[in-house]
């Protein structure tokens, strides 16, 4: 294992966990529960689940997480040109965003945030509700 790989494996998880309480507070303020999954060696994988009826939309949540952590999606000089933060579509309607902790875009540590879709009772089939 290279020295850089050893550093990532031993230091990045602790670094990510120091930022986690601020991320949770921001998510909670927007009606989401936030959970960690993955090894935290390369990135911090997060799942944001709408938890309240008033949960904000995914983009509003992501912009708040960027504000709280000082992260970028592309780079400080470019983010204003990409107002939707370039989400990736994932299975089950979830959208994913990469929030980079350095201004070098895809280099360095980052958050990989998957946001589950908001669901209203009208969008759930009656057979699911009634069992």
CATH of the domain at 40: 3.30.460
Q: What is the pLDDT of residues 51-87, one digit of tens each?
A: 999 999 999 999 999 999 999 888 888 888 888 888 9
| Full residue range of the structural domain in which residue 21 is found | 3-130
Give phi and psi for 48, each to the nearest 5.
-105, 125
SS3 116: coil
Q: What is the spatial distance between Cα 88 and Cα 35, in angstroms, rounded to a whole number?
A: 19
Our count of domains for the chain comes to 1
Whether the per-residue pLDDT at 130 is higher than 80: the answer is no
What digits encode the pLDDT tens for the residues 12-36? 888 899 999 999 999 999 999 999 9
- CA dist 71 and 85 (Å) reads 11
Query: Could you please report the per-residue DSSP string of 66-97?
Result: HHHHT-BSS-TTTGGG-TT---EE-GGG-EEE
What was the pLDDT predicted at 31? 98
Q: Which residues contact 41 (CB under 8 A, 6 or more apart)?
A: 8, 9, 12, 13
Asked whether the predicted pLDDT for residue 48 surpasses 80, the reply is yes
- 90-109: average pLDDT: 86
Q: Classify residue 99 by burial, with Cβ atoms within 10 Å: 0-12, 13-18, 19+.
A: buried
pLDDT digits (tens, 9 = 90+) for 101-117: 987 666 788 999 999 99
């Amino acid at each position: 294992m290279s020295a850089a790989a050893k550093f990532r494996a031993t230091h990045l998880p602790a670094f990510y966990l120091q930022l986690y309480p601020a991320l949770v507070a921001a998510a909670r303020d927007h009606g989401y529960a936030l959970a960690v999954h993955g090894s935290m060696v390369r990135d911090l994988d997060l799942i944001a689940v709408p938890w309240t009826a008033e949960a904000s939309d995914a983009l509003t949540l992501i912009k708040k997480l960027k504000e709280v952590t000082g992260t970028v999606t592309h780079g400080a000089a470019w983010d204003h040109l990409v107002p939707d933060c370039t989400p990736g579509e994932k299975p089950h309607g979830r959208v994913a965003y990469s929030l980079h902790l350095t201004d070098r875009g895809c280099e360095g540590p980052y958050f990989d945030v998957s946001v589950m879709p908001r669901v209203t009772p009208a969008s759930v089939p009656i057979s699911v509700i009634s069992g």
